[in-house]
Amino acid sequence: MNRFMTLKSAVVMTSTLAAGGAGLAVSPGRENIDLRRLNVDPAQISVSGLSSGAFVAMQAHVAYSKTFMGAGLVAGGPYGCAEGSLTQAVGRCMSQGDLPDTEKFIALTQAMADQGDIDRLEFLRDDRVWIFHGKSDRRVWAASSQRAAEMYQTLSGSQNVSVNIDLIDAGHAMPTQNFGADCAQSDSPYLGACEYDAAGLLLNHIYGPLAPAAPAIPENLLTFDQSLLSYSQYLDETGYIYVPDACREAQAACRVHIALHGCKQNRSTLQDTFARHAGYNAWAESNRIIVVYPQTSNDFMNRDGCWDWWGYADTGHGTLDYLTQKGPQMQFIKRIVDRLTGTTTPTSGSVVSACYREDNLSHSLAGRAHYFWWQYYAVGSMDYLGFSASHRTSLRCDKTDYCRSINTCI
């Protein structure tokens, strides 16, 4: 049966395609592109990532399984591995700790689906997934990648999951044909010259046999404005996007692949190194694949620019929202897709234009404030509101999901 003649196809094909034939809108003097001007096929959207990006790629795939039809994980682990704990993230997920069996992670995933916090698990059936772990990787435990593989084998079907664990002597990095550090090392830029094309292998597995890679065109790596899609302080204002020549005029729909960098690989640290050299663009150029490279930012809570796979960006302390459609970074990734497809993203905690003077806890419960590590911040502006739940503050909310702290409501 054709991969797209499935339950998921019936859902995604109801999405609205962006208008075609209009070409790209690039701001004069800048590389910024308006994502809404691209023509994409909503049935052929996939996601992959390295390290923290791999954990979050699986989170996005599972949370929005109606949207994504495949995933690639390089040095990642199972959905829910950290269960909201940094201690568990660096312990059982990254080192040889007491990693629960696969059934526990599947039970957690099922519970999330039953609560309506993620898409139903049936949408994962028949999805194509590619998983890799290097033999010399000591940053993420091979057992974590194995658990992710076992989860996908159960949820998507063993025949659809390509497991490549400890097959080559690669370190904690994205294996490439010839760019990066020594293959067996785990050093910056966390791209390994391994004579192994991980990006090409995962794209071929997800989409089926592709045309041979063609030389990537440097000028086709553009930027887009991430600030339009997120209110999180942990995300950069700018992301990268590779648009092949064949997709520039938007006459026929193109595939979309979201590629998530790892820690210490974002724009603040390495500029466009991951986006330019991870290996995706050559395959994208010859196969009508638009590759989006979202970018985190470096922050006192996230100095290495990692993606959130343990809950640092959660809107409430001690929740597991980061795993679900309530998570700020999950919503951000979905908004990128929706911007490309011309779909409107439902938002949680939406507020109307008004002024509110209430205690911080009430602001948080109403969706006007975030709670990060015992501190309150206004949604959108991230204005600091203090640490006391009972402290009364005034917030002027001028648009959905954007509030500012003011002296008083008049």
How many folded domains does the chain comprise? Answer: 2
Do 376 and 241 sit in the same domain of this protein?
no
Last residue of a domain, one of 315, 341, 367: 341
Rg (C-alpha) for the chain, rounded Å, is 21
Tell me, yes or no, if 136 is annotated catalytic. no
1 within a domain of the structure (yes/no): no
Last residue of a domain, one of 290, 312, 341: 341
Q: What is the mean pLDDT of the chain?
A: 87
Which residue among 172, 205, 257, 261 is the active-site one?
Answer: 172
Q: CA quadruple 325, 299, 339, 365: dihedral positive or negative?
A: positive
Q: What's the pLDDT band for 13 if we cut at 50, 70, 90?
A: very low
Do 75 and 130 sit in the same domain of this protein?
yes
Residue 76 has pLDDT above 80, yes or no: yes
Q: What's the pLDDT band for 352 if we cut at 50, 70, 90?
A: very low
Which residue among 15, 46, 48, 51 is the active-site one?
Answer: 51
206 within a domain of the structure (yes/no): yes
Do 74 and 112 sit in the same domain of this protein?
yes
Total-model pTM: 0.81
- Count CB atoms within 10 A of the CB of residue 130: 25
Q: What's the pLDDT band for 365 if we cut at 50, 70, 90?
A: confident
347 within a domain of the structure (yes/no): no
Which residue among 137, 236, 314, 321 is the active-site one?
Answer: 137
Q: Taking phi first (over 0 means left), then psi (-120 to 50 degrees means alpha), and beta for anything else, what does residue 21 get?
A: left
Residue span of the structural domain in which 331 resides = 7-341
Tell me, yes or no, if 51 is annotated catalytic. yes
